[in-house]
Each structure stands twice: as C-alpha cells, then as structure tokens.
Amino acid sequence: MKLNSGKMFRRLSQLLFIFIGIICLSASYWQYQRGLTNQALSLGLSSVNRTGYHQSTGKELSDLGSEISHVLIDLQFDEMNPQFFLEPRYRDGVEGRELLTPYQADNMIIMVNRGWIAMQDSQVSEYVKKPPEQIQVKGYWLRYKKPINWLLNTQAELFYPNSLIRRIALYDLEYLKRFYQFPIASGILLAQSAKLMVAEKDRLLAPILTNHVAELPTPYPAYKNYGYSVQWLIFSFFAFGFFIRTVYLEKRNEKIK
C-alpha cells in the first residue's frame, strides 16, 4: 500500500511539473508577442510625426502596413448603425468614457473614437444625439492584427441616435459584426480634428468631437516584455528539468530493487 501511495505521489509530481512547464512556456510566448506588438507600436509612434497625413479610403485603412498612421479620410454616418460608449476610461485619474462612432467609407465600417467624456460631464446627452452625416477626419489610424486588443474587458453602452439601448460587454469585432451590414476595418481611428463636408442645419446634431480628443497609446517598453519572456522560459526549463529528474530517479530506484 505504501508502495502504491509513493508511486502515485511521484506520478502526480511529474504531472505537476509538466503542467507548470507548459504554463511557463505559454507565459513566455505571450510576453514575446506583447514585446513584438509594443516594439512595432513604438516604431510607428516615432515615425508617424515625421510624415504628413495620408489621404485614405476605407479599404486602404485595412491594407496599411504600419501599426499606426496619419490619415485623412472622408466618412459618412448611417443612423441605422449604433454607437458605443466604452468604459471605464481614465484620464488624469478621472473616470470617464470614450465615444466610438461607426462611420462608413467604401462599404467599410470605420470605428471612430470621437474623444473622452468624464462620467460626471453634464454634456453627455449632447453626444448621444445624431452625429453629422458627412465629415472629413484627420487622425491616427491604429491597426490591430487582433481586434480583441482594444475591446478586451470593456463595458459599453450601445445606442442609436437619441435612443439608449442597453449595457453590453464587448470582446472582439466578431461580436460587433451582428450590428452592421458592412465589414468592420481591423483598427480604430483616433480623431484629432474634423470638419463638416456638407452644411447641416439640423440643431439636434451632436458635436463632431468631444472637448478631449483621443490620446495616442503609450506602449509598454518592449525590452521589459522580452525580459519577462526569458524569465518565464527559464522557469519552464526548471520545471521540465525537475520532471526529467523525477523520472530518472524512479527508473534508477526500480533497477536497484
């Protein structure tokens, strides 16, 4: 009975070492991927201010090779497309939300970040009104290979013009697709300035942008991600090493007996 208990304990130990090793390898790979993303974003941020605005179409946005680009694009709003308040979003320690409006260009949905609004802002209702239909936007296009990067763990309030619908949780663009008839470009446009393309006399129109335009992200230093990746890789080597050692000792003890 003691022999069986000891053998079972060794088997469980071996399984535990394998499990820990796999977890550490996964963490190492995850940190490595984050390092690549942050490195690309850092390079994009360092070069984007040296270039002018690129006149783009909806299709071109999805095909842009860089992680971040200066763009100038003409957009049109369809009131059948719901908007989103993304929350929580903090600025200087103040809790708020960001207004995400789906504009259209060349049969593509372009998610436009129209700016940040404090939770206690008395003008929140002004931004729920119908946005201007035809605008020209200058801003930063952030392309995401995995759209989940900008929607993960995000709560939202979805609404059509002048009509708040419900609070939902957003996870990726696959979830958003159900609300729109056109495909969604893989990225988000951080609007910095905008102007009307056609004069609209409707007094119920919402302001084009909020008083606080969207800020560029500050990437985490890539070298730290790479350092963490190496750290987790070393941990995985230790875990697999202990696994090999327990198997070796078990085989040696069996030969001795």
Helical (H) or strand (E) element with 19: helix 2-48
Q: How far apart are CA 60 and CA 47, in angstroms?
A: 19
Helical (H) or strand (E) element with 183: none
**What's the pTM?**
0.65
Count the neighbouring beta carbons within 10 Å of the beta carbon of residue 126: 14
Nearest residue to 183 (alpha-carbon basis) of 147, 216, 208: 147
| Least confident piece of the model among 44-48, 222-226, 231-235 | 44-48
Residue 132: pLDDT band (50, 70, 90) is: confident
pLDDT at 171 over 70: no
Q: What is the pLDDT of residue 157?
A: 54
Average pLDDT of the chain is: 76
DSSP E strands in the chain: the ranges are: 54-55, 68-77, 83-91, 94-105, 108-118, 134-143, 154-160, 163-170, 187-196
Q: What is the pLDDT of residue 159?
A: 53
Backbone torsion region of residue 51, taken as left when φ is above 0, otherwise alpha when ψ lies between -120 and 50, otherwise beta:
beta
Tens digits of residue pLDDT in 36-94: 878 877 776 676 666 666 677 766 776 665 667 788 888 988 878 888 777 777 888 88
Q: Mean pLDDT across the stretch 221-228?
A: 90
